[in-house]
């Protein structure tokens, strides 16, 4: 009897928590992640994922990199420092987000020095 109770309890837990464990998207959405590869100065970049056509800081879905010192307005300021943002020469996976299928999205990239930067 005790084994039967344990088995039934386990099955109930699996059913109740499976949606949270799988993090499934709703109908009409697709699970998306982005790989960000930094250059030798990973702290010099900032980026945002936004719906297509939006400006930096407008309806931002995700922001990454050096939010503190660069943000939307820090392009070319050449004042970013290493305590913020990503590390150097890394590949970082950001996400997962559930995005609407067949919709368009933009990655807005802001580079503090204008000398290359991230790849996505």
The answer for 10, left when phi > 0, alpha when psi is -120 to 50, beta otherwise, is alpha
Instruction: Check pLDDT > 90 for residue 7.
Output: no
Alpha carbons 38 and 86: distance in angstroms, whole number: 7
Name the maximum alpha-carbon separation found in the chain.
Answer: 70
pLDDT at 116: 83
Instruction: Check pLDDT > 80 for residue 50.
Output: yes
Instruction: Check pLDDT > 80 for residue 115.
Output: yes
Mean pLDDT, the chain, rounded, equals 86
């Amino acid at each position: 009897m005790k084994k039967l109770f344990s088995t039934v309890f386990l099955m109930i837990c699996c059913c109740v928590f499976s949606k949270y464990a799988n993090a499934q998207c709703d109908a009409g959405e697709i699970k998306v992640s982005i790989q960000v590869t930094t250059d030798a100065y990973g702290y010099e970049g900032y980026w945002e994922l936004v719906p297509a056509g939006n400006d930096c800081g407008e309806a931002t879905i995700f922001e990454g990199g050096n939010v503190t010192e660069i943000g939307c307005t820090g392009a070319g300021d050449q004042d970013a420092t290493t305590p913020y943002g990503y590390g150097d020469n890394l590949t970082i996976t950001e996400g997962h987000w559930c995005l609407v299928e067949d919709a368009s999205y933009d990655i807005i990239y802001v580079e503090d020095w204008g000398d290359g930067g991230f790849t996505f």
